[in-house]
Copies of this chain bind each other. A is one copy, B any other.
Amino acid sequence: MVLPFIRKLRHGARLTGDDERVLSSLAEPTRSAGPRVDIIAEGRPLPFLPLIIEGWACHYRLLENGKRQIISLFLPGDLCGPFRTLPHFKNHALATLTPMVFAPVSFDAITAAAAASREIEEVLWWDLLVASAMERERIVSLGRRTASERLGHCLCELHCRLRMVGLIDGLSYDLATTQADLGDLLGLSTVHVNRSLRELKRAGLVSLRGRRVTIDDPDGLRHFSLFEEGYLHADGSRSG
């Protein structure tokens, strides 16, 4: 079985067998965590870099007024932060959204891997630059897209990201978040997430059965949400 981490990185570089073996070795040993558990508390330096094998997680921030904002959403194959850190840099809280299996990758190991192979060094940068592009895209969403557009955009992005790690079934995938989580991610109230979802359903763009999302009209949803997937670099555009 190929790790989702490896599957994802193949979109970013042509990895040799050696490269993939080195990268796979970073993914061991693994730990497990339950759902809705803090892996790393807010304000601590990062002791290691979590690499997700299975499950979803997020960086979040709790404001003094009690509101929560999810800063980044992490899926299987994701490194939960930049591959390099410095002393005195504190982290946002990292929490699981679902039960999760992850590898606590040591920064030393990752640095050594990058030093050993130019391709690995590049693909780690590729991953960092894509993660950073997703954050910037969310700034655009939060600032200038309506609630329904934000939600549609998010559903498009998730489909694309899950496709990169082989976790979709055609136009369907399992949405592991609650609507409250989506609200904290998109800067909306739970109630309004629900209404926006209803709007997308009524427009025939998506449908839901339980936690299973199906994008019924991909072009329509992309157009409605102003979604352009280039920033995710899922097309192997390295070769084009």
Contact = CB atoms under 8 A, between A and B. Distances in A.
Nearest to A61: B140
Interface in A56-98: 59, 61, 63-65, 67-69, 71-72, 82, 84-90, 92
A184 to B, nearest CB: 8
Interface residues on A, range: 35 or more
Nearest to A150: B143
Task: Give the number of copies in the complex.
Answer: 2
B140 A138 contact: no
Interface string A99-141: 0000000000000000000000010011011001001101110
Interface in A175-206: 184, 186-187
Contact of A144 (B68, B143, B145): B68
Interface stretch (A18-26, A159-167, A232-240): A232-240
A41 interface: no
B237 A88 contact: yes
Interface of A: 59, 61, 63-65, 67-69, 71-72, 82, 84-90, 92, 122, 125-126, 128-129, 132, 135-136, 138-140, 142-145, 184, 186-187, 226, 230, 233, 237-238, 240
